[in-house]
Amino acid sequence: MRLLHTMIRVGDLQRSIQFYTDILGMQLLRQKEYPEGKFTLAFVGYGDEKENTVLELTYNWDTTEYTHGKGFGHLAIEVNDVYQAAEKIQQQGGKIIRKAGPMNAGTTIIAFVEDPDGYQIELIGKKS
């Protein structure tokens, strides 16, 4: 068994694709419209779906905004240097909601970014 993807609903597909590709450095792996269902799926990630877990962006054509509820927490991305990654993301227009630094009650360096739909993404420093 292996984890294939995580799906999140987005209000503006092109804006979300731009964020995940241009700001977070993922690749658009595939995209398909489903006219009968009135939705589009786009899959983004850091590598081929055959070997990597990816993110599915679901755009329902008649919905521009979602509430996140209390169950979902965040996505997490490992980076070589959290300070550099957070600074680069901010310079490219990304929204940093927690500056880079040690986590509460620990030593792991983390930061939090918010995507255009308000989903939180944790940047975690790569362990040596």
CATH number, domain of 24, equals 3.10.180.10
Q: 110 lies in which domain range? A: 75-125
pLDDT > 70 fraction of the chain, expressed in percent and rounded:
100
Residues 9 and 55 reside in one and the same domain: yes
Q: What's residue 71's pLDDT?
A: 87
Residues 55 and 101 reside in one and the same domain: no
Q: What's residue 44's pLDDT?
A: 98
Classify residue 65: in a domain, yes or no: no
- Residue 61 gets which letter from DSSP? T
Residues 45 and 82 reside in one and the same domain: no
**Residues catalogued as catalytic:** 122
Burial of 59 (0-12, 13-18, 19+ CB in 10 A): buried
Distance of alpha carbon 58 from alpha carbon 93, whole angstroms: 23
Mean pLDDT of the chain: 96
Structurally, how many domains does the chain consist of?
Answer: 2
Whether 74 shows a pLDDT value over 90: the answer reads yes
